Amino acid sequence: MSATFLESLDTPAAIVDLPRLQHNIARMQEHMNALGVALRPHVKTTKCLEVAQAQIAAGARGITVSTLKEAEQFFAAGITDILYAVSMAPAKLPRALALKRAGCNLKIIVDNVAGAEAIVAACREAGETLETWIEIDTDGHRSGITPEQPELLDVARALDAASLVGGVLTHAGSSYELNDDEALAALAEVERAGCVRAAERIREIGIACPNVSVGSTPTALAARALPGVTEVRAGVYAFFDLVMHNVGVCRKEDIALSVLATVIGHQPDKGWVVVDAGWMAMSRDRGTSKQGQDYGYGLPCDLEGRPLDGWLMTQANQEHGILAPTRDSVPADVARDFPVGMRIRILPNHACATGAQFPVYGVVGEGSGTQWPRFYGW
């Protein structure tokens, strides 16, 4: 059934392996259940209602989004508990307030006083409240206020002027740079302790701070205990990818997203197989280039999703991918081994980036043959 479906699709196509997806969703949810915290999956990876619904059916509480368009799309589909986890730009407040007014339980975030004051002013003008969580920086990789910084209380006080403080959140994105379980567990503890400490400082000045939200796929899976944390956010675990495999949190056979491609030519003297999936399909993400194993633009597999040992997509143009042997020797007859018209599946470096290139996912496994739409833009 799956093979027939995969032969029927136009290439390149994004393929979701349903049993792998379900396994990944169940694995994360079970780990969160064991730790006694809620899971709020980040839907920026998949931007697909069917995946979010599967996450919620498995036990997730609400969703995390990276754009207001995601919030609007998922709210329109009936999901109401939504955290928009990018620091609020003042000009986006009317769009956020419109969601709130329509009944969406939207939470927004901020990490600076100017932004907090803009949120308070917009809420007062609209006669609305937008629950706001304060972004905490626990690993120095991007945004947020460090737990001991004086500005943390300035932002809390600014928001509290309109009773908007809903919690604190942090994202230890530097976990992507690690690759062993001990180091990940240690970073998970840094992430937890920093975020809990920030919440305590806010509470010490008499402001309620009910939510303490942490997470990234690697720290979520590595965390051994999360006292003081109320929820965990993670996104890429639904699909996983080669970057996560290098980080050490999944097997290759857990990777649920692949790109279906067709062989369109060869350069026999170089041992190259040319396919119709280039960087427009795989994305330009080369996340494994700085990791222990560089997978080029992706790892070719057969139609069943089994890696083709000794091959990588080493180069990509817009609509051309070049598969080359990883060994020095050139195969005797690549045109025989990979005839024109043959189909393969390619595992991506980074599922968030590769998924984003496609309007739909073709689903294989139980229910093979269905297509799940995904959306893009802002």
Binding positions for its own copies, rule: CB under 8 A: 7, 10-13, 44, 66-68, 86-92, 95, 111-112, 114-115, 118, 135, 137, 142-143, 173, 262-267, 274, 276, 279-281, 283-286, 315, 317-320, 322, 335, 339-341, 350, 352-353, 356-360, 376-378
Nearer to its own copies by C-beta: 31 or 44?
A: 44
Nearer to its own copies by C-beta: 111 or 230?
A: 111
Distance in Å, CB of 77 to its own copies, minimum: 19
Nearer to its own copies by C-beta: 53 or 315?
A: 315
Nearer to its own copies by C-beta: 88 or 232?
A: 88
- Cα dihedral 219/220/222/223 (nearest 10): 100
Under 8 Å between Cβ of 358 and 9: no
Distance in Å, CB of 178 to its own copies, minimum: 17
Nearer to its own copies by C-beta: 151 or 204?
A: 151
Nearer to its own copies by C-beta: 23 or 92?
A: 92
- CA dist 273 and 7 (Å) reads 19
Distance in Å, CB of 73 to its own copies, minimum: 13
Under 8 Å between Cβ of 81 and 103: no
- CA dist 245 and 287 (Å) reads 11
Distance in Å, CB of 224 to its own copies, minimum: 26
Nearer to its own copies by C-beta: 121 or 207?
A: 121
Distance in Å, CB of 90 to its own copies, minimum: 5
User: Which residue stretches of 237-368 are H helix?
Assistant: 242-247, 279-282, 334-337, 351-355
DSSP string, 331-370: PS-HHHHS-TT-EEEEE-S-HHHHHTT-SEEEEESTTTT-
- CA dist 96 and 71 (Å) reads 9
Distance in Å, CB of 135 to its own copies, minimum: 8
Nearer to its own copies by C-beta: 126 or 335?
A: 335
Distance in Å, CB of 360 to its own copies, minimum: 8
The SS3 of residue 136 is strand
Distance in Å, CB of 123 to its own copies, minimum: 16
Q: Spell out the long-range contacts of 179-182 with Cβ–Cβ below 8 A and sequence spacing 24 or more.
A: 179/246, 179/247, 179/248, 179/291, 179/292, 180/248, 181/222, 181/248
Nearer to its own copies by C-beta: 37 or 277?
A: 277
Q: Provide the pairing of β-strand 165-170 with 131-136.
A: parallel
Which is nearest to 20 in space by CA: 361, 278, 375, 295?
361
Q: 206 to each of 137, 178, 302, how far by Cα in Å?
A: 22, 38, 59
- CA dist 232 and 133 (Å) reads 14
Distance in Å, CB of 87 to its own copies, minimum: 4
Q: 220 to each of 28, 186, 187, 225, how far by Cα in Å?
A: 8, 12, 10, 10
- CA dist 363 and 19 (Å) reads 10
